[in-house]
Structure 1
Amino acid sequence: MPLRRAHYLVLAMVLATVVAFWPTYFAVLRTARTELHFHGVTATAWMLLLALQSWTIHHQRRGAHRIFGIVSLFLFPLFLAGSVAVLLSMARNTPSDPFYQINGGRLGILDAWTPILLMVLFYFALKERRKVQLHARYMLATALPLVEPIIERLLGHLIPPFTAFDPAQFAWTMRAAELGGLVAAACLYAAAPRYGRPFFIVGLAMVAQAVLVETLGESSVWQTVFVGLGKLPSLPVLVVATIVGGLTVWAGWTAGPAARRHKPAAA
């Protein structure tokens, strides 16, 4: 089976997330926005699900692996909505928080790009579910969008001079985090290039994301749009995001069998 130690990698990311987000979320749980709680719960549940899927299949617990696979079909729409929730929360903070007034637009690009990437990865994970090598890597790839924010916050909290509150310095913190995410995707791709398509997609997405941060993220047009997102009511937006996640599940699940049915006719 591929990626025999993937569950250890995912659990290490969960622990790194707790350390990275401790000052800004876990230490202030009582005062954190509802959107952040929704994101935190759904993202944690998704990461633990990835770890359980990896552990069960590598320990010959195929029945449990199938059950967790079914759970993923229902959890993904909520996970996707959670990634949108954190975008809304950041947009709402931007007009009043000095840090987000300076950096909210750049960070908003990252959070706006993540749901799109997650939909692409999970769609292909379902479409290629009969191809074990690809399916496993597409599933693991859904954890990679967390690498950049983890590195970004670890640098900002722990590593001088990144700990200094300086807008220009924070731009370099973001760039260092982007590079770290790209290196992680490249290493996973290099481990098995034949099946590395999921990590190649993530790498391309990270490059495109970095370009958008340095261009669109600095524009007044995006800043206006981003702040406008924060004025939208959360519940309708999250309901729509959940529906879109459900449609992604349906499209991915039906794409594989449909492709196999049409293959003989095409031949």
Structure 2
Amino acid sequence: MKPFPKLHLWLLIPFGFTLLGFRSYWTGFSEAPLRWHLHGISATAWYIILIVQPWLYHHRPIQIHRKVGMLGLLLAGFVTASALGVIRGNLTQPEQSPLFKVRYSLSLLDFIFIAGFLLSVAAAVWNAKNTQVHARWMISTVFWVLSPATTRLSFLPLGMIYQPKEFSDFPFLWVDVLAWNQVLVFLIVAFLMIQDYRKEKKIYLSFALVAIVQLSCIWVVFALKDAKWLITLFNHLFEL
């Protein structure tokens, strides 16, 4: 029996969270800048392919799975390139934004996440003949980019609870909520690693790498903040 027969259904869960987390993009679609469209549409298309691929693997000839995978590679490159445009835009957001004081450290996180995403795609391609390893590298792409969506989604119930007139009325900062979500992603990935170890007595690098980086990113935000060297580095990279 082929592995992961229900994977396409499980992947619908983080896809739904991501759509809800970035609901403001879709509700304000006509007003969004071009860089958001390039990233939002390409990332959504990538996600759809990620969901479809396990189903194709189980229900259609493997040649179709491979051809769709080639299209996925092109989209992954586009997602990565367009993410850099979004990062540059985030660095120039107005002072009124709740992210303004930590925009450089948050952009560093985005840079780390998209680099991890691209690394996982490349590793999945490299291990294409090993289904167990290949599938886990592809699954890990979800967790690299999940916390930005779930962090935004978290403010939906938090807003209902605290009902702030302004964002500053919340009794916590954006980075606090981000840290909670980094821990959440870590716990999900840790659960998957435990399941793998129980069944196979094996820890897969794809999941271990995501888990370590997710926790490390909490330190990045709270310890680095917008350090002067980080501001200088990003201003130089993005010619600001």
The TM-score with structure 2 as length reference comes to 0.85
In 2, are the aligned partners of 1:125 and 1:134 still within 8 Å (CA)? yes
Within-5 A mapping of 1:240-259: none
Aligned to 2:64: 64
Q: Is 2:160 the partner of 1:156?
A: no
Aligned to 2:179: 175
In 2, are the aligned partners of 1:39 and 1:83 still within 8 Å (CA)? yes
Distance verdict in 2 for CA 1:163–1:139, change over 3 Å: farther
Distance verdict in 2 for CA 1:68–1:131, change over 3 Å: same
Aligned to 1:8: 9
1:66 Cα deviation after fit: 1.5
Aligned to 1:53: 53
In 2, are the aligned partners of 1:147 and 1:180 still within 8 Å (CA)? no
Aligned with 1:2: secondary structure? coil
Distance verdict in 2 for CA 1:86–1:35, change over 3 Å: same
Distance verdict in 2 for CA 1:151–1:162, change over 3 Å: farther
Distance verdict in 2 for CA 1:10–1:83, change over 3 Å: farther
Which consecutive residues of structure 2, in runs of 5 or more, have no partner in the other structure? none
In 2, are the aligned partners of 1:39 and 1:82 still within 8 Å (CA)? yes
In 2, are the aligned partners of 1:124 and 1:135 still within 8 Å (CA)? yes
In 2, are the aligned partners of 1:181 and 1:206 still within 8 Å (CA)? yes
Q: What is the aligned length? A: 230
Q: Using the alignment, how far apart are the partners of 2:204 and 2:225 within structure 1?
A: 30
Q: Is 2:209 the partner of 1:210?
A: no
Letter in 2 for 1:72: G
Within-5 A mapping of 1:87-236: 87-93=87-93, 95-160=94-159, 164=164, 165-166=167-168, 168-193=172-197, 194=202, 196-226=204-234, 231=239
Aligned with 2:3: secondary structure? coil
Identity of aligned residues (%): 22
Root-mean-square deviation over aligned CA pairs: 2.3
Which gives a bigger RCO, structure 1 or 2 (Cα 8 Å, sep 6+)? Answer: 1
1:82 Cα deviation after fit: 2.2
Q: Using the alignment, how far apart are the partners of 2:219 and 2:120 within structure 1?
A: 21
Aligned with 1:129: secondary structure? coil
In 1, are the aligned partners of 2:117 and 2:141 still within 8 Å (CA)? yes
Which consecutive residues of structure 1, in runs of 5 or more, have no partner in the other structure? 233-267
